[in-house]
Amino acid sequence: MEVRLLATVGTRPEIIKMAPILEVLYRKKTFDVVLVHTGQHYDWNMSGIFFKEFNLPEPDMHLGVGSGSQSRQTAAVMVGIEDVLEKYRPDLVISVGDTNSVVGTAMASVKEEVPFVHVEAGLRSYDFSMPEEINRRIADHIASFNMAPTERAKVNLLEEGVSPSKVFLTGNTVVDAVNRMLPLANRSRVMEELDLTEEDPILLVTVHRRENVEKEYRLGGIVKAIKELDEFVVVWPLHPRTEAALKGFNLLDDLLSTKHVILTEPLSYLDFLKLLSSSQIVATDSGGVQEEAATLRVPCVILRNNTERPEVIDLGLGKIAGTNPSTIIASVRDFFYREEHQLSKKDYTNPFGDGNAAKRIVKILEGVDLINPYDSPRFDEGSPYYYSFVVSGRMQDYTVAKLMDEFGVEVISIYDNSGMPYSFNLSTPLVKGHKVRIRGEKRMIKKLKRLILS
């Protein structure tokens, strides 16, 4: 019996990151794939053109959700997806990212008891002023299966109590997309069209986050910094929301009259990839661009006060600048004048993946049990208890699987001797001195205590 999979996209980043998964799905034909576009991005340059560039078929349905407040847009997605679920009766639903489309899809799927798969799960900025932070936390905790792109994302999920059986480390499909599309992007004529050469000191800028475009002092700070960075050719593809904000705050004319600044319409993915790979530095508030920059080894100045991709900071390829003009200027110039040579020689493994994330995700989906994913767990004592212990010498022959099987408990987190949590699987051995956090029935925890204390 063929398994029907419903995939949803709604924005440019979702299409880019879903495309490699769809490519594998269509090639392998294990699933009957239904593709739905929610219409959260309804401008062709923000969405539709990417279907052509990735050679994807037209969506089977287009919900036409459009713009609106956070709540109204999410509600519209939920209502639309509910209708889709009733029409197609899928066995599985998959979405990627942290948009209103994703959380709306997740909630509608769960309420209809259809297993939901969240790709790019476990990212955390710990900033609840960001709608994206709220969306991804909800999606992660109600998903049947979470595809974590990095070790750090996986640990985040485990630390929050998400069952390890629901968490898979896959890498991020943005790396798959970059690797696949870069040869095509190198044929782009965008550099010639903008009268640029590879020798030009290009500073690429992207801004679209609500917290930046809705507050004049934040957007004004970015503009002030860009105007002062006149040793660069600044290229800024304008998101429609950002262009409207620049006009509303009377900042657009100022930028248009600044000689070293080039403002463009939203770019296609191939044009953007070519421009990013040709840039000395990118200044952005986008999470996806941070990942693309790390993949292409382009230093990244982050126009936010935090990031859910801290791996770019760990690599030395990212700096948190916020929107303070002096901090932005200092960060850009620090990369350009002090660190560019060292970064170009730096050898590192991309923490966002090796370009095979989509293959891993599809393989996982082919092996998951779709029978009764929302069956209620049975707890004789009402609910599970949590318990932490230090691994003793007599437990060193235990693996995670052996501990769980013998005592009927679930391992939630493991911490090393320094107290840092780390990723694990069923075959991970328990190491003397490491701390293990579990949950289970009180009587089983008492049994485990007797072993530990004996």
**The pLDDT of residue 373:** 66
**The pLDDT of residue 40:** 74
Q: Considering the chain, tell me which residue range(s) the CATH 3.30.70.1450 domain(s) occupy.
A: 385-453
Q: Cβ–Cβ contacts within 10 Å for residue 214, how many?
A: 12
| CA nearest neighbour of 177 among 90, 108, 269 | 269
Q: What is the mean pLDDT of each run of 10 residues along the chain (454 residues)?
A: 90 94 96 93 65 91 88 95 97 96 97 96 94 96 97 95 93 97 96 96 96 95 97 96 95 94 95 97 96 95 96 94 98 86 68 97 90 70 89 89 93 94 92 94 89 78
**The pLDDT of residue 187:** 95
CA 199 to chain centre: 32
| CA nearest neighbour of 368 among 30, 38, 83, 106 | 30
| pTM listed for this prediction | 0.93
**The pLDDT of residue 432:** 93
CA 310 to chain centre: 12
- Residues annotated as catalytic (active site), given as ranges: 208
Residue with tokens 């939630």: 412
**The pLDDT of residue 347:** 75
Pick the CATH number of 385-453 from 3.30.70.1450, 3.40.50.300, 3.30.1160.10, 3.40.50.2300: 3.30.70.1450
Residue with tokens 């370009």: 355
The class of domain 3-172+354-367 in CATH terms is alpha beta
Q: What angle do CA 262, 265, 266 make, to 5 degrees?
A: 115
Secondary element (H or E) of residue 33: strand 31-37
CATH number at 187-345: 3.40.50.2000
Q: Considering the chain, tell me which residue range(s) the CATH 3.40.50.2000 domain(s) occupy.
A: 3-172+354-367, 187-345
- Give the Cα separation of 454 and 395 in Å (integer): 11
Beta strands in 109-166 (DSSP E): 116-119, 145-148
Structure tokens at 366: 């082919």
Burial 334-351 (b: 16+ CB within 10 A, else e): bbbeeeeeebeeeeeebb
| Beta carbons of 7 and 24 less than 8 angstroms apart | no
- Give the Cα separation of 157 and 145 in Å (integer): 11
